[in-house]
Amino acid sequence: MKTAIWWVREDFRLTDQPFLHQLSSEFDFLIPIVLDLPIKNSKFGFSTIGEHRLRFREESIQALERSLKHLGSGVKWFEHSNIDLALRTLLPFCPNPVLFYRDIPSTYEQKEVKQIASLPLKAVSYCDNLLWTEDQLPFSLDKLPLHFTPFRHKVESANPSVFCSQAPTTLPPLPPGIILQDALPHRESNSQPHFRGGEPEGIQRVNYYLWESHAIRTYKETRNGLALPNDSSRFSIWLSSGCLSVRWIWTEIVRYESEYGSNDSTYWLKFELLWREFFKWTERRYGNRIFQLSGLGNKSASDCFSPEIFQSWINGTTGDELTDAVMRELRATGYTSNRGRQNAASYLIHDLGQDWRSGAAWFERQLIDYDPASNYGNWGYIAGVGTDPRGGRKFNTIQQASNYDPDGAFRSFWLKPMDSVDSGT
Ligand code: FAD
């Protein structure tokens, strides 16, 4: 008898999980498990995970549970974040256990894996949130280009294949003796669901953006918009939690191009996914340095942190209209556009002179699409301690507001008195 334990680590989906296919033939039992995220305090005085992220994660897990139940399985949810303890509870019920888990390069996640080294089980890691494996890259990781453009040129000219697998149609049953909760935990939350978590919601968004609305055909022209849901794809929301596979999205775009023809916009959506890929490999290459004040190249940056100034930034009361509108949207919904993020980040760093890591930590707390590599990568880029060849970006927020919100609709919506806008934290 053999048991597979699937430690679901922010990859809440069944599509494109290649290892799931081998389970039915090789294992007698499967137990998928989920742990709570550890909620820590950032050095800037707030917790690292806000209500929007928690609500979205809970919905994603519940959706995964529904899909697993259709296949006769389920999810065992531990309301703590100690993997060692969780596995010790399960092992008596799991003959010949093999643990499958997603490899996550960050320090905390690597420490979690070290915790289980002494347990009597075999552990198999997989990497499912990148377009390519390290072997497929046209350079070794230590030769990863520091800047995006050479990275893109190299992968585009090597053109490695993107493989994507289907969702499994059968899975082994749960091991006898394992008792699942009747209902997964549900915590009270002030977060209003502007976007719902879960693989079906993510798939629906891709289907809508590509196949139903064909909004992809004008992506390049609309992507810098601040307000409308179809200005950009919104795929990050489901990508970051692993509800969607980037390889699946890529193959859907290629399929769309072969059916309806490619244009600048279909190319540009892939171009942006390459930015994600670039930051993820940068994280793998440089590890913890992406979180450090001096970033990748030991550059100098302000470590100034004024609680009053910071409060005005997070509350959207700095007096800079574009920044304030963006920060209020982020607080109320857990999402804001790329253009909005760039401006609000630049304003905190270059106009208010604050430590870039304080803003990155606030985004980490608030964004439902929070992703360490993309978040800290973009913040470092704007601060000039990351991968920007020009050594940082200062945006003129007044000019940007008139370019990207010419009629002021975005600003006037979010700058209404706060009590008329939901202000979930
Ligand atoms: P689209 O414009 O439709 O782009 C398609 C996809 O390409 C996105 O889903 C995303 O996966 C990728 N992409 C696009 N732009 C970028 C970029 N600049 N960097 C990396 N990938 C990109 N993205 C996150 O996923 N998580 C974060 O925590 C995050 N934090 C950010 C912080 C700052 C300060 C800035 C400037 C950007 C950040 N981004 C982050 C990148 C980008 O803003 C979001 O990926 C994008 O706004 C998501 O909306 P979308 O899916 O509609 O993007």
Give the mean pLDDT per block of 10 residues along the chain (425 residues). 96 96 94 93 94 95 96 94 95 96 88 91 94 96 97 96 95 92 70 87 98 98 94 97 98 98 98 98 95 90 97 98 98 96 98 98 97 97 93 95 96 80 46
Q: Rounded to the nearest 10 degrees, what angle do helices 372-383 and 264-286 cross at?
A: 90
The residues near 210 (Cβ < 8 Å, ≥ 6 apart) are 216, 252, 253, 256
**pTM (two decimals):** 0.96
Q: Which residues contact 26 (CB under 8 A, 6 or more apart)?
A: 2, 4
Q: Which of 56, 152, 274, 276 to mutate to test the pocket of ligand 1 (most atoms within 8 A of CB)?
A: 276
235 in contact with ligand 1, CB cutoff 6 A? yes
Q: Euclidean distance between the first and final Cα of the chain, in Å?
A: 47
Nearest CA to ligand 1 atom 51: 234
DSSP 361-414: HHHHHH-TT--HHHHHHHHHHHHTSSS-TTS-----HHHHHHHHSTT-HHHHHH
- How many angstroms is it from 307 CA to the middle of ligand 1? 27
The CB of 233 under 6 Å from ligand 1? The reply is yes
Q: What pLDDT does 182 receive?
A: 65
Amino acid in the structure at residue 373: A
Q: Element (H or E) spanning 102, and its range?
A: strand 97-102
282 close to ligand 1 (CB < 6 Angstrom): no
Strand bridging mode 29-35 / 3-7: parallel
Q: Smallest Cα–Cα separation from 262: which of 222, 227, 220, 223?
A: 220
Which residues 6+ apart lie within 8 Å of 289 measured at CB? 295, 296
Indicate the Cα dihedral angle 188, 108, 17, 257, nearest 10°.
90
Nearest-atom number in ligand 1 for the CA of 273 is: 7
Residue 196 and residue 285 in contact, taking contact as beta carbons nearer than 8 Å: no
- Is residue 218 packed enough to be buried (19+ CB in 10 Å), middle (13-18) or exposed (0-12)? middle
Amino acid letter, 256 = Y
Atom number, ligand 1, closest to the C-alpha of residue 233 = 3
> Using a 6 Å cutoff on CB, does residue 342 contact ligand 1?
yes
pLDDT of 421: 46
Q: How far, in Å, is the centroid of ligand 1 from the Cα of 391?
A: 20
Closest CA to 86 of 163, 25, 31, 49: 31
